[in-house]
Amino acid sequence: MSTPTIGVLALQGDVREHVKALTDAGAQARPVRRPEELDQVEGLVIPGGESTTMSKLAVVFGMLEPLRAFVRAGNPVYGTCAGMIMVADKLLDAREDQETLGGIDMIVRRNAFGRQNESFEAAIDVAGIPGGPVEGVFIRAPWVESVGGAVEVLATYDGHTVAVRQGNVLATSFHPELTGDHRVHALFVDMVRGDRQGRA
Ligand code: GLN
């Protein structure tokens, strides 16, 4: 099987854990901070962290437009938690001026679970991932309030959508990179392999 090169957006957040999870899932993974580094990867993970800080740093580092262009070009992108917020077309409970990259036709509510329960773990069945539920680690996590017709809902928890995919963009409210179970990363690595074959 091919070894795709996948970047982890390294402006802020839990970059190292994603690099390890992607490596374990069969990719060559590297941090991405600059536009030139983005040009060298076939897919990108946007980690968890703090989406307000991440979007500000994206502006400061001159990465906002290159990242938007990367998504628009149809490259595979996977956002976890704050990363899910970054790939949402619209936000709730965010400041008016919080920038996102867009990519998934959905409305994401920031810190949605936070009001009920700051952080928790739950077994989550994810469509397309065989072998039983994955352990979902939720940390001041967002949920998906609503989706457009082109969006596939992959998982729900307690009646709320927590994993979605639209074309080449995947997003989860939870953090699979913290569990040692790399099946969600393996799904993303497969998406990148599939995209590479489709373009070849
Ligand atoms: N609440 C954070 C935000 O709005 C996300 C938390 C996380 O990524 N663990 O960015």
| 139 CA: nearest ligand 1 atom | 9
For the segment 67-86, the average pLDDT, to the nearest whole number, is 98
Look at residue 163 and give its three-state secondary structure.
strand
Best of 8, 87, 111, 174 for a ligand 1 pocket test (most atoms within 8 Å of beta carbon): 111
| 81 CA: nearest ligand 1 atom | 8
Phi/psi of residue 165, each to 5°?
-145, 135
Mean pLDDT over the full length of the chain: 95
Do residues 173 and 131 make contact, with C-beta atoms less than 8 angstroms apart?
Answer: no
Residue 108: pLDDT band with limits 50, 70, 90: very high
pLDDT of 1: 79
User: What residues flank ligand 1, with Cβ below 6 Å?
Assistant: 48-51, 81-82, 85, 110-111, 139-140
Residue 48 CA, ligand 1 centroid: distance in Å = 6
Q: How far is CA 168 from CA 14, 50, 157, 158, 179, in A?
A: 22, 23, 23, 26, 24
Rounded to an integer, what distance in angstroms lies between the CA atom of residue 62 and that of residue 5? 22
For the segment 137-148, the average pLDDT, to the nearest whole number, is 97
Residue 50 CA, ligand 1 centroid: distance in Å = 5
Q: Is the pLDDT of residue 2 over 80?
A: yes
Quick one: CATH architecture of 5-199? 3-Layer(aba) Sandwich (3.40)
Which is more confidently placed, 115 or 108?
Answer: 108
pLDDT of 114: 80
